[in-house]
Amino acid sequence: MAFFRSVSIAEAGPAVAGNGVMLRAPVMSDYTEWTSLREESRDFLVPWEPTWPSDDLSRSAFRRRLKRYAEDQRTDTAYAFLIFRSSDNAMVGGITLANLRRGVAQAGSIGYWIGQRFARQGLMTAAVRTLIPMCFDSLRLHRIEAACIPDNTASVRLLEKCGFQREGYAREYLCINGVWADHLLYARLRGDGS
CA angle 155/96/15 to nearest 5° reads: 115
> Could you tell me if residue 138 is inside a domain?
yes
> Could you tell me if residue 167 is inside a domain?
no
Domain with 91 in it? 11-142
> Could you tell me if residue 126 is inside a domain?
yes
CATH of the domain at 27: 3.40.630.30
Q: Where are the alpha helices (DSSP H) in 41-118?
A: 42-45, 59-74
Give the C-alpha separation, 123 to 114, whole Å. 9
The pLDDT, as a whole number, for residue 193 is: 73
Given a cut of 50, the residues of the chain with pLDDT beneath it are 1-13
> Could you tell me if residue 16 is inside a domain?
yes
The pLDDT, as a whole number, for residue 194 is: 57
Order of strands, sheet of 21-24, starting from the edge strand that comes earlier in the sequence:
15-17, 21-24, 79-85, 91-101, 107-114, 143-148, 179-189, 165-176
Answer for the pair 177, 51: CB distance below 8 angstroms, yes or no: yes
pLDDT tens across 162-191, in order? 999 999 999 999 999 999 999 999 999 998
What is the number of domains present in the chain?
Answer: 1
The pLDDT, as a whole number, for residue 124 is: 98
> Could you tell me if residue 132 is inside a domain?
yes
Helix (H, G, I), strand (E, B), or coil: what is residue 182? strand
The pLDDT, as a whole number, for residue 3 is: 45
> Could you tell me if residue 127 is inside a domain?
yes
Give the C-alpha separation, 190 to 176, whole Å. 29
> Could you tell me if residue 154 is inside a domain?
no
> Could you tell me if residue 55 is inside a domain?
yes
